[in-house]
Structure 1
């Protein structure tokens, strides 16, 4: 994580927001996080590639895919998407991150349908909490959640943005233009020809925090989700059921909207987006009410809805 291009801004586009099965208004789980020109795909249920195009996203800018777990509603859109990328002439490598078994699943399906993928697939399996990928100014961290199947939550974490150098203040302290200015901006103390030592805190503003976005589905209430969402600018969390069905939710490895709000409060998140909505809820208003009673800055995600997120 170099921090050279900490964007401090991203756009999250929800491609599918249902759970288990699609409805006429909600597709299977998938979303894209756009940071600068780069697109990151989180989960890939059936229909993802069509939604990708409806959202006006450019497949050539997709660099990494992150799969939460191997239940069909989160992964069965991936083989077809990979084949379409091949048909579109993709030549650059594509990273795919997911739980143990993701490589075997992809390879088996592509083999059985006799698909030829000419670009490089770089598949990484993760079985524990770790940093799974690093980009220009950010890293992606994963942690195991609490579902019926082994499931990973993810967080995009940007590097802090270095503070600006107060050139006028530095000159007033006797720092000449040139290399010493650069050293101060890099966080190094400098010694002037007079013997005076100038430290960065005297002339450089404090670093600004980078962006943080957490993605947690599928899961029961989980302490690991709290860790991923700590001080997040946006927490995207499953809310399969309303709180009156908490027992059913837990038996199936899921959360209620109220419990997602509890995670947001515990984590100190700034905004909560609820997704993975059970098809039983044609009107998700009860879920939104459950969550907003505890965490007012909550929205219910809808297919093709985009959220602008800033640090």
Structure 2
């Protein structure tokens, strides 16, 4: 399976990186975007991704650097890419209401404009394994204030397991979320500074044996951690990175 980091940055574009957005290619039932931060439509164009080949967008939590690219994605689907295939968006409780608010704030009237494709929005229940377009997603509760539950997502598709932490300080829920995953993508904000709502690289490395993932890649790094990449022992994401797993 092929995953590309279209955007691997934090909310502030540290290192000139795009906001979080991962593109997962599958053999059947359409490709998947995992998060769609504000800059994601630019990243999609930069890396030559076909928007109409995306059948599903999964959102970890409701911060702009993780979901505010959706108004652009939806308008592109309607006006530029001329989408006709159904599109499924899935996120935490409160996702649909917040998305409508953001769309109207950014492009007034866009929520009422007719589309030539079916748009489905689904809100994911904590610890409930949801079947969506040939993949299964199980959310785990993280500790990251976003005005709604913030999730780690355990994604099962084509006999592979991918876990994405979203944003969070260390919580033990990361252990079952990532247990034995083929690929564990986890944020690491600072090198060893402990703070609320974000995990640091040093804490993560101490707890990785408890998770037991086959492969771990850190993402969403601050400028401080980007400046210390030479000290990082595990793989680190960068915009455009392609991973086969």
User: What is the aligned partner in structure 1 of residue 128 from structure 2?
Assistant: 130
TM-score (norm 2): 0.89
CA drift of 1:282 comes to 4.3
- Which residue number corresponds to residue 233 of structure 1? 182
Residue 106 (1) aligns with residue 95 (2): no
Conserved 8 A contact 2:153-2:166? no
Aligned match of 2:145: 148
User: How much does 1:84 deviate?
Assistant: 0.6
Per the alignment, residue 184 of structure 1 pairs with: none
The answer to whether structure 1 residue 35 and structure 2 residue 34 are counterparts is no
Is 1:299 the equivalent of 2:235?
yes
Which has the larger displacement, 275-284 or 142-151?
275-284
Deviates more, 1:233-242 or 1:41-50: 41-50
Match of 2:84 among 67, 75, 91: 91
Distance 1:102 1:30 in 2: 17
2:69 & 2:157 partners in 1: Cα distance? Answer: 29
Q: Unaligned stretches of 5+ in structure 1?
A: 1-9, 160-209, 293-297
What TM-score, normalized by structure 1, do the two folds share? 0.71
Q: Deviations over 1:171-222 (max 9, x none)?
A: xxxxxxxxxxxxxxxxxxxxxxxxxxxxxxxxxxxxxxx3111100201112
In the other structure, the counterpart of 1:15 is 6
- Identify if the C-alpha distance between structure 1 residues 157 and 236 changes in structure 2 by more than 3 Å, giving closer, same or farther: same
1:223 alignment partner, SS class: coil
In the alignment, the residues of structure 2 paired with residue 14 and residue 227 of structure 1 have an alpha-carbon distance, to the nearest angstrom, of 24
Give distance in 2, aligned partners of 1:239 and 1:134: 28
**Rg (Cα) greater in structure:** 1
In structure 2, do the counterparts of structure 1 residues 117 and 84 end up closer, same or farther at CA, with 3 Å as the change threshold? Answer: farther
Q: How much does 1:126 deviate?
A: 2.4
Give the deviation of 1:135 after TM superposition: 3.7
* Unpaired segments ≥5 residues, structure 2: none
Cα distance in 1, alignment partners of residues 167 and 74 from structure 2: 23
Q: 1:238 Cα shift? A: 0.4
